[in-house]
Structure 1
C-alpha cells in the first residue's frame, strides 16, 4: 500500500554494450506488518567473483491509504499562480553537464504561488504508448520533480537529485500526463501531489529529500 521509505545509495549505470541484471528482494513481514525491500544489480559481463551492488533500501507498509491528493486540482492552473518561463530549462541543464534525452524532457508548463510550485508534465508521444506498463512511468515521475528547478537562478554546478523518498502512495496507474504540486517539506525536501488531467489523484509523496550530485 505504501512505500514508507526508499533510500537511494548508489546509481545504476547502464553499460554501452550488454545488459544489467536487476534483483528486488522483499523481506518477510515484521511485527507491524511492514517489509524491507532492497534493489541490487549485476552486469551481465561480470566475472565469477563479482558481487551484486546494492542501489537502494526501503520499507513497505500494508497500510490502506484509500484517500487521494488533498489539493483540489480541478481548477487549473490554480488561482493566483504566476507562470514561469520554461523554454530554455533543459538546454541550461545540458550546458551544466546534466543532459536529459527527449523521453525525460517532460516539463510543459510551470507556475508559482509563494512557495508552491505547480506544473504540467507529460510523456512524449512515443513514450505514451508505454505508460500503461508502469504504475507511474519513470520519465513522468522524474519530470514532476524537474519542475522544482525550473526558475532557479541559473543552474547550480551540482544539481540536486532525489535520494530519499518517504510516504509514497500510488492512487492510480498508467498516467501519461500529470498536474503536479510541489511544496517545501523541510530542509532540502519537497512534498509531492500529482493528479491526472481531470484532477483525479495519481500520486502523493510525504517528502522527497534531494542532495547535491556533482557532474
Structure 2
C-alpha cells in the first residue's frame, strides 16, 4: 500500500495489510487445515520491491516461517529492501509481519539484483511438446486434498498436464472467482501457485525438489526468478526437476516468456509445524507478570 525511501542510505520499506476480508481468495489456500499466505505471494512482494529498487532479478528467496492468516482481523506486512552494495547493485530483501501489537516475525529473506545481462528464455514454439504423454487431471485436486492441500476454487487453476520423462508440462489459468482481484499483481500468486500444481499432481517432486514425493511440499527456496511480462491470466508451464531443485518456465498463450525461475526447492510441511507457526505469532500477545502476594498474618508468631 505504501513505499518509503529511507533517509539514511538508499534502502526502502514497503508496508501494507493482509486480511481475508480484503482478499477473500486467500482463504482458498490452506495446508493441513491452516490458511497460509502462499509462497508465491512472497515472490510477488519481493519482485515488486525489486522493481521499485531497480533490481529485475530475485536471486534468492528463502521462506523461513509460514504466514498464518487469521480468520478475522488481519496482519501488518513490511517488505524491507536494504542498501545497494555499490558494486554489483545487489540488495537484501526481507518480508515480515505481525498481528495486532505483537512481535514482528520474519517470514522470508533474500537477495535482489539488477537484470543486466541475464538471458531471456527462448520463445516456446511447439505446444504441447512432441512425445509428451497426457496425464489425467480430473481428480487432481481431490488427490491433493488427501495429501493435505486444501485448495479452494481460487487456487484450482490446473487445466491440462503432460509428462515426458521427469519434465512436466501444464496449462493453467486464473479462475474466474478472482477476476475482480486480479489487478495490481505482476503475476497473480494464485496463477503462479497453480503453475506448480502439475508437479504435485504427477508426484514428480519431494522435499528436495526432485524424485517421487507423496507428502505435502511447500516452496522453500526460490532462485533466479525473473518476471518478464505482467498481467498474464493463462500460462503454459515447463517444470524440469534436477539435482538442485525444479526449474520453472512460464509462457503466455503464444509462447512468449512470462516468468523464469532457475530453481525452486520444496520442503515437507506437517500439520504440527503449521500449528506451531501460527502459535508463535499469537504467543507474542502473552507476557509474564509478577503479582505481589501479601504475607499471611500469624498471631502466634513472637
**Matched residues in 1 for 2:149 and 2:180: separation?**
26
Partner of 1:185: 242
Matches within 5 A, 1:107-118: 107-118=158-169
Contact 1:65 1:169 in 2 (8 A): no
Matches within 5 A, 1:82-93: 82-93=133-144
Higher helix share: 2
Contact 1:134 1:174 in 2 (8 A): yes
Q: 2:227 aligns with which of 170, 179, 182?
A: 170
Q: Residue 206 in 1 paired to residue 272 in 2?
A: no
SS in 1 for 2:150: coil
SS in 1 for 2:220: strand
Q: Deviations over 1:17-51 (max 9, x none)?
A: 1011000000000132100000000113x3xxx32
Contact 1:92 1:155 in 2 (8 A): no
CA shift for structure 1 position 181: 0.2
Contact 1:80 1:113 in 2 (8 A): yes
**Matched residues in 1 for 2:118 and 2:223: separation?**
17
Contact 1:85 1:151 in 2 (8 A): no
Partner of 1:149: 200
Partner of 1:68: 120
Q: How many residues align?
A: 208
Partner of 1:55: 107
TM-score (norm 2): 0.65
The structure-2 alpha-carbon separation of the partners of 1:128 and 1:81, relative to structure 1 and needing over 3 Å to count, comes to farther
**Matched residues in 2 for 1:128 and 1:180: separation?**
21
CA shift for structure 1 position 66: 6.2
CA shift for structure 1 position 155: 7.5
SS in 1 for 2:80: strand
CA shift for structure 1 position 132: 3.6
Unaligned runs of at least 5 residues, structure 1: none
**Matched residues in 1 for 2:221 and 2:124: separation?**
26
Contact 1:2 1:65 in 2 (8 A): no
**Matched residues in 1 for 2:152 and 2:186: separation?**
21
**Matched residues in 2 for 1:65 and 1:6: separation?**
21
CA shift for structure 1 position 78: 1.0
Partner of 2:208: none
**Matched residues in 1 for 2:118 and 2:266: separation?**
27
SS in 2 for 1:13: coil
RMSD: 1.8
Higher relative contact order (CA 8 A, sep 6+): 1
Asked which structure has the greater CA Rg, the reply is 2
TM-score (norm 1): 0.91
Unaligned runs of at least 5 residues, structure 2: 1-55, 205-211, 272-302
Partner of 1:134: 185
Higher strand share: 1
CA shift for structure 1 position 208: 0.3
